[in-house]
Amino acid sequence: FFANHSTSFAPVFRTGLNDQPLDPTSGVGSEVGVKFDLLNNRLFATLTYFDLKNEGLPLQIPAGDSPTGESYFVNSGEERAR
């Protein structure tokens, strides 16, 4: 059996409205599983469940939707994997 839990953050090299720096992205991940060794070490199998989530990803606001007429980024994107 095995288990893993982790957290992460990463800087964002994009700018927001009025060239303000964006906050770093953050994430959390968990994984649990079991490994099998069958048929005298001739067959290996792994069964795993994982849940990963990243938040604060940079999302681009197009120039047409911007109050300044220029595109910019905001921290609002999210991705999840299971």
| Residues 6-60 pLDDT 10s | 999 999 998 898 889 999 999 999 999 999 998 988 999 999 999 999 999 999 8
The three-class DSSP label of residue 65 is helix
Could you tell me if 44 and 33 are in contact, meaning their C-beta atoms sit under 8 angstroms apart?
no
| pLDDT score of 64 | 82
| pLDDT score of 68 | 79
Mean pLDDT, residues 57-72:
85
Q: How far from 37 is each of 10, 50, 67, CA to CA, in Å?
A: 37, 21, 60
pLDDT band at 69 (very low <50, low <70, confident <90, very high): confident
For residue 36, with 0-12 CB atoms within 10 Å meaning exposed, 13-18 middle and 19 or more buried, which class applies? exposed
